[in-house]
Structure 1
Amino acid sequence: MCNVNEVNGKIAVMTEPLKLDYQEYTVPEPGPGAIIAKVSRTNVCGSELHIWRGQHPSLKRGVLGHEMIGQVHKLGEGVTTDSAGEPISIGDRIVATYFLICKKCPACQEGQFNLCENAYYFWTKQPEVEPHFHGTFGTHYYIHPEQYVYKVPDNVPDISAASANCALSQVYFGIDQASLSYGQTIVIQGAGGLGLNAAAVAKEKGATVIVVDALKSRLDQAKEFGADYVIDINDYQTVEQRSKIIQELTNGRGADIGLEVAGVPAAFAEGIHHIRPGGKYITIGNISPGRMVEFDPGLLTRKSIQIIPVIRYNPWYLRKSLEFLSKNIDKYPFDTLLDAEFTLEEVEDALEKSANREITRASIVVNS
C-alpha cells in the first residue's frame, strides 16, 4: 500500500561523461542528525564541468551538483539548531558544506578538516544507493550529520547565497591561508565565479587587486567586484607582456600573492612570473590530475615563492562567507554572478553552455 505521506523527488544523473538521465526516488526520512532540503537553486561549478567532460580521476557516473541553497523540508531526530547554534525549523533557508567532516581520519586528526579522507563518502555514491539524493541537481538533497549547515541571513537573497558553499568559501579560505593583508597586492588569474568572489574578499581586506582574463565581459564585471586593474589576455598575449604590465602596476616588485582560479594548467605555470620574490601563490582552479604543463622550478626556487594548493575549505568558512555576503550585499553585485538560469530539465544545456564559456555561471532554479 502506498504511503500518502511519501513524496517523490527527481535527480539529474550522469550515466557516463557527456550523457545525462533523470531518475525518480521516494524522498527518504532523515536519520538522526540529518536534514532533508528542498533545493531552491543549484549552480554549475567548475568541478561539475571537469566531471561532465570525464576529467575526474575516478567519478565517471553519478548524481551531479554540490553548490546550492535550499529550504528545510524535514529535520532528523535531534536537529534543533544549525552548526552555529541558531534555531532551525521547517521552511528555513539553508546552505550546507558539500563534503563531510568525519573527525576520525588522519587528516582530521591533524586538524586539516578540508582534507578529510571521507569528504565525498556519500557524494560519490550512485543514485540507486540510499538515501539517493547525494547531489544537488535535483528536487531534494540529503544533508548528513557530518556536514555543516547554516541558516541564510534574511538580507541575503537566494541568488547571492547559492554560491556561498563552494565558490565564496573556497576562495575566502585560500586567501586566508596566504594571510593576505592590508596594502598588499594580489593578482587573480581567472574572472569566473571564483575569481570575482575572490576580488571582493581581497578588496575588503584592503588589498590592491589585479585580475587577468580573456573575456572582456568578465573583466568589466571584475571592476564591479573591486578589481583596481584588469589585464585582457587579448591585449597582452604573452607571459612576458603580462608579467611586464604587472611589474609596472606594482612598482617593479611583482604581486605579493597570486591566485590561480582559471583551471588551466598553463595559468599555473605562468603565475610564478607575476609574483615578487618571497611571495605566495594559491592554486585552486586546477583539480584534474594528469593534465601536464611545462614549469620552471628554477625560477620558483630563486624567487622562493610559497605554493599553497587549496582543495575545499574548513567548514566554518561557510558561515564566514554568509556573514561576508550579509555585510557587503549592497556593495558588490553578487546577484550578477549567476548570469543564466535553467530549469532542472535543462541541466545538460546548462553544462554545455558553461563548458563553452557562453555564460559566466549557470544557476538551475528548482523550487522557487
Structure 2
Amino acid sequence: MPSAFLQIFDGPGKPFRAVEQPLPNELMDGEVLVKIELASICGSDLHTISGVRKGPTPTVLGHEGVGRIVGLGNKRSGLTIGDRVTWTLADSCGVCNPCQEHRLPEKCRSLFKYGHAAVTDGSGLSGCYASHIFLRAGTHVVRVPDHLSDMVMVPANCALATMVNVVGSIPEKTKSVVIQGGGLLGLYGCALLRERGVEQIFCVDVRPERLSKVPAFGGIPVDGRPEHYPEARARILESADGGVDAVLEVAGVAALVPEGVQLLRAGGFYGFVGMVHPNSALTLTGEQVIRKCLTIRGFHNYSPWHLDQAVQFLSDTVAKYPYESLVRPPLPLSCLEEAVKLAQTQEWFRVSVRTEF
C-alpha cells in the first residue's frame, strides 16, 4: 500500500520524528489528496517550534505549500488528477454565521487549520512538512499557472494571501503608507500597494539586508535603527504632509505601535497583522486613538477569495518583481531540522523543503 512520509513535531526542544503512514484508501465527496512538491517555513511555525506559540502535539507543522493532486473525491468541479495546486491554510464549513453572515470564513466555528492540528485529528496528513497532505471538503483549492514556479508560489497561500486581505481593506483614497517590517509580508505589501497605485510606500526595518530588497518591490526603504531613524522619520512626515494615511504592522513587535500611531494623520488607518503571539501587550491609550480619530483593525489570515486574488496577482506581476529570490533553494524534507535552523537565522525570507529532488 502506498505510504506518506511525515515529519512529526512532538513539542519545543524535541527533535522532529520521521514516520511513514499509509495513504487513504478512498476519498469522500469534496476531499483532495495532494503530493506536496515544495513547502516553506513560516514565522508562525518558528514560534511554535520555539514554544512562543502553543499548539497541540504531536503534529505535522507547515501550512505553506504547493503540490499536485493525486487523489480526488466526487463533487470537486474544476479540478482533475495531476493539477498543480495551492490551497487555503484552513478548512471552513461555509454555513455558520462567520462564514456566511460575517464573510469571515477564516473564523469559521468549525475551523480546521493545516499545520496546527494534532495528528489524531482526522487523517494525520494535515501539515506541509510531509510528502502528502489530505485536504478536507471545505478547503478552497486553486490551480496554479504553469509559468509560476514552485519557488514563486510556495508562500502564496499564507503571506501573500494575507497581505491581499490587508491591502484590499485600507481606505480607497490612501496615498501614503508606512509598513513596519521588511520581511516577506512587508515586501508583498510593497508590491501590492505599488500595483494599487499608492504613491508613497515607506518600509521600515532595522536590517540593511532586508531593506536592500525594498526598492525592487516598489517601496522606499527606511532604516529603523536608532542612529538613523530620527532623520528618516522627519522625511516621512514632511513628504506625507504631517502624517501618513495608513500604517501596517507586519513585524510582530508590539513596541512599534506607539510610533505607528504618531506617524498617522488624523483619521488614519492602522492595520495589525504580525502580532499573532502572546508577547503583544500594547502601550496605547484610548485617548490617543480617539483624539486622532483612528481606525484600528486586526487581520488574521484571509478568506478563500483572497487566495484566488493572490495567485492572479503573481500571474500578472511575476515578470515585474523578483519573487523567486525571496525563497531559499530547497533542502530535502529529511533535513527539516537543518532547514529550521537556517530559517531561525532570518538570513532568508523563506527557507523551503522538498520531499524529493
TM-score relative to the length of structure 1:
0.90
Residues of 1 paired with 2:95 and 2:166: CA distance?
24
- In the aligned structure 2, how far is the partner of 1:312 from the partner of 1:205? 20
| C-alpha deviation, 1:128, in angstroms | 4.2
Contact persistence 2:89–2:114 (CA under 8 A): no
Partner of 2:287: 298
Q: Does 1:166 align with 2:135?
A: no
Q: Which residue of 2 aligns with 1:3?
A: none
Q: CA deviation at 1:359?
A: 2.3
Aligned equivalent of 2:46 = 49
Aligned counterpart, 2:339: 350
What's the offset of the Cα at 1:326? Answer: 0.7
Kindly indicate whether residue 19 of structure 2 is the aligned counterpart of residue 8 of structure 1.
no
SS of the equivalent of 1:177 reads coil
1:276 to 247, 265, 284: 265
Partner amino acid for 1:118?
A: S
- 1:260–1:27 Cα change, 3 Å: same
Give the drift of 1:126: 2.1
Q: How many residues align?
A: 353
1:234 and 2:239 correspond: no
Q: How does 1:330-349 map to 2 (within 5 A)?
A: 330-349=319-338
Contact kept, 8 Å, 1:192 with 1:361, in 2: the verdict is: no
**Structure-2 residue corresponding to 1:23:** 19
Match of 1:92 in 2: 83
Say which is worse superposed, 144-153 or 44-53, in terms of deviation: 44-53
**Structure 2: distance between partners of 1:23 and 1:127:** 12
Q: Distance in 2 between matches of 1:139 and 1:269?
A: 44
Q: Which moved more, 1:285-294 or 1:92-101?
A: 285-294
Listed as ranges, the gaps of 5+ residues in structure 2 are none
TM-score normalized by the length of structure 2: 0.92
Q: Does residue 191 in structure 1 map to residue 187 in structure 2?
A: no
**Alpha-carbon displacement from aligned partner over 1:7-57 (angstroms, at most 9, x marks no partner):** 111112210113222221111133221111010111111111121121224
Contact 2:34 2:68 in 1 (8 A): yes
Matched position secondary structure for 1:332: coil
Moved more, 56-65 or 193-202: 56-65
Residue 248 of structure 1 is matched in structure 2 by 238
Q: Which residue number in structure 2 is paired with residue 326 of structure 1?
A: 315
Q: Deviations over 1:182-234 (max 9, x none)?
A: x611111111111111110000001121100111111111110111x211122
- 1:150 lines up with 2:142 in the alignment: yes
For structure 1, the residue ranges without an aligned partner over 5 or more in a row are 1-5, 82-87
| C-alpha distance 236-305 of structure 1, shift in aligned 2 (>3 A) | farther
Distance in 2 between residues matched to 1:226 and 1:264, nearest whole Å: 23
Shift of 1:367: 4.3
* Identity, % of aligned positions: 29
Within 1, Cα distance between the matches of 2:125 and 2:90? 14
Give the letter aligned to residue 7 of structure 1.
P
Q: Structure 1 residues 293-302 or 157-166, which shifts more?
A: 293-302
Instruction: Name 1:262's counterpart in structure 2.
Output: 251
Q: Is the 8 A contact 2:204 2:221 kept in 1?
A: yes
* Cross-structure match for 1:219: 211
Deviation at 1:301, TM superposition (A): 2.0
CA shift for structure 1 position 127? 2.0
Looking at structure 2, the residues matched to 157 and 122 of structure 1 have their Cα atoms a distance apart, in angstroms, of 22
Q: Distance in 1 between matches of 2:124 and 2:248?
A: 36
> Does structure 2 retain, via aligned residues, the 8 Å contact 1:269–1:296?
no
